[in-house]
Structure 1
Amino acid sequence: MSAGEEQSALQMVLKRVEEKQRSYRRYNFSEAQNAVLRTFFDLAQEYDSMEDFYRVCVAVPRVMLGLKARLYLLNERRNTLQLICDSESGLVTPPEPVATTDLSCRTRAKDDSLHVPIQRKPSPYDSSTEERSVADLVLGRLEIAGGAAMDKADRFFLRKYANRIGYNLHNRLIAQQNIRHLRFINNLVTDIEHNVITPNMYFRHLFNKLRKRLAELEEVSQEFSRMRQADLCDGQTCGLVQQRLELIYDELAANHREMQEHYNNYSLFLESLFRRDHFRKGHLVLRPRACSIEKEVIAPQLEHYGNRLVRQGIKISQPRDMAEEEITLRVDVGLLSQVYANFFSNAVKYTSSVHDHNGETIKLMAYGREYLSDYFGPGKDGVKFNVFTTGEHLSEREAQMLFSDGFRGEAGQGKPGTGHGLAFIKQVVEIHGGVVGYEPTAMGNNFYFILPLSPDEA
């Protein structure tokens, strides 16, 4: 900023100070009223927690003016007014919804009480010509018991006091929102590292396989060149060379398919984690569409992890009913695909052998689904998606901590991993309106999630 620009900015602030000075002379507040404002400012700075701030809002009028006060605020969705704190009984836990929102930008008397609106701090980006709803302008209201009979001067002071609450509350909410936003971005970076960067190292394995095939191809080419120079290219020899070339071609084609599958998977995960809306809004933003869970979500991930499961000696049990009876759900394909990617990745690492009821040794991963009538309430059915693996049951403590970020059970000790996968699964399922869980079953462990089934999907 240049010296001239700084002088201009300073003059603007000096002008506002002078305007405030004139305003307070015009307000002509009493010494007691000025003490209320000073006390509120001091205590609002002293207490950090929102709960203590709510208590300060109602305690100051009670102690310094002898007024019984109640603090009401809109919920996060801004569609329900809730009683938050009472100067007589303190914090209301949980907040009590008010039967009627009855919000207004004007101070109003109702029954014996005075209802003073608590307005948010005006934004410099707000347009004065833009129509705004009351819920956009008002954070809540302050109720003063017995205040209906107050004169105009006292009502004016309480309006100014409520404004101080609103401005302070607005700044606190913005600070909380920024903290949540930063925490989300930090978690999203972990998601990207866990679901994209680490799996991307699998490309190295694919490139090594490709390099090996190319080396074999070069070897055949050199051998064929030597045979031609030695005039040894008879029909039988050429047939053997052709067989080797066909074998190498098949292996190269398989490598290409695997790389294509990995690229498609990688691209899907990148799109679903690097969306601009995630960073702008500070939370995962769904892009749901109707899809077949079996064909569009599970099958690609199973194909991606199938070879790794087989290499670990794990048998895959696929349910017939999921292929024969498709369920179309509205989900975010990219995010839900990562749910199954994490389940199958864990199956590769943690599935172990057990003895079945016939005494035979088995090492198995199975997946499936089942309908749950009225799971989310009357007429609100759910679909339970299961991923089962053989092995020892988890301890009670492990089962309780399983979906906590960073937690790793005893089976994970000494194995690569971050303990983030199941926490990510929980986050994705919950923003779809579902729930996650774990249950010990015969011969192993079942990990599941339940999604709501809308009436048109049933």
Structure 2
Amino acid sequence: MDISLKTIRERLLTKKDLYDEYNFSKEQLYALWAFFDLAQEFASIKNFYRLCVLIPKEFFDHESFLYLVQGDNYVELVASSEKGLLEYPQKTNLPLKREYFREGNRHFFPFVGNRKLLNLIPAHKEKDLLGILEVKANNLSEQEKFFFQKYANRIGYSLHIKLLIDQILQHIRFVNELVADIEHNVIIPNIYYRYLFKQLRKKIDSLKEIKTILTDKDISDREKEMIENLYQELLSCYQQIEKHYENTSLFLESLLRQEHFREGRFVLRRRPCRFAKEIIEAQLERYRKRFEQAGIMIDNRLGGVPAEEEFVLAVDVGLLSQVYANLFSNVLKYAQEVTNEKGEKIKFISFGREVIPDYFGPGRDGIKFNVFSTGPHLSPEEAQKLFEEGWRGSNTNGKPGFGRGLYFVRKVIELHGGVVGYEPTPLGNNFYFILPLKTPPQIDKDSDKEIKCH
């Protein structure tokens, strides 16, 4: 949560006053400074453990020991100023106390981590303990106890960050291994289906030849009809499965690229494509029957560009296809019936595109793509949050979702140098995005092999 400059200034002044009250000696200040400097210099957790126990020994000549909480019910000794890092941590019977306690000449200073980050690493659930610092001394003044508790607190905060970094690095290694396994065990084997589809299509074509031969023979009309129906049904099933496979493969290969995981962000693979045909129409075919089943009519006549005028844009086809999949999916979920100016009940989806001159600056035109659906308008407050991660509107009505669809749309469009938006329009809601439109490319009308983009 962001806070004001005034609040931060007030906290600084409070801390300044507190430091005066601490009244730390020069040696105590040197010990803290050395700890802060070396905690950053020694990156590994093992060296950090050694540093924690050496500070009390070298600055104050007190033997010290570092304990870490393991699980919910026991503490392990991991390092001492005499032996350094223990090869095998020793389980102890120390109590899981959050406050200072003492046993003879043994003084124990428990420490926790950053409270806001405690849920990110394993910690003692009941006390939120990370560990305990032990300092051996016959007598410690109240000021010395106060100093060592503050020192233990600094250990807790620094250790917490190092544990988080170590956990993040482990996650990164795991993700990289997982991605390699996905490519080896999912993406590459998935390509084999293309071969199987080709073989299946050959079998269906063979059935067509057999059908032709048999219809010339002396067989009944009923038998001819059965053969024809079987052929048509097989061909239809094949075409549906092939389309589903091609789309699933496109999504898998575009989402699970190694570059995404290696760089920690979506990495575009641009290529020139006929936007309407390869992206919009391809995704519309996936949803056409589902729109029909939901009673949603399709009207693509509202764009500002004639349907026959095609644009070739250099975009990431896989990611832009998923943009339209998200937008069409939202139409299925949220489109509602409305009454038009003639008093008719209607429920439909519309999509189009229009060129916006100089949208991105002088001589830099934009092309606006939109997906419209009928239904009540969103409130201005909801409209402002539409493209935020995890946000879901008040009209979800228990429909499944995680609030990531429009956020994904925004991220992909912004990577392409574009912008996203929402506008209430007569009869419903219009979701749109605007991409830079460079010099109109030359389309070879006689061949799909060569498409030039400038």
Bigger proportion of residues as helix: 1
Superposition TM-score, scaled by structure 1 size: 0.50
Superposition TM-score, scaled by structure 2 size: 0.50
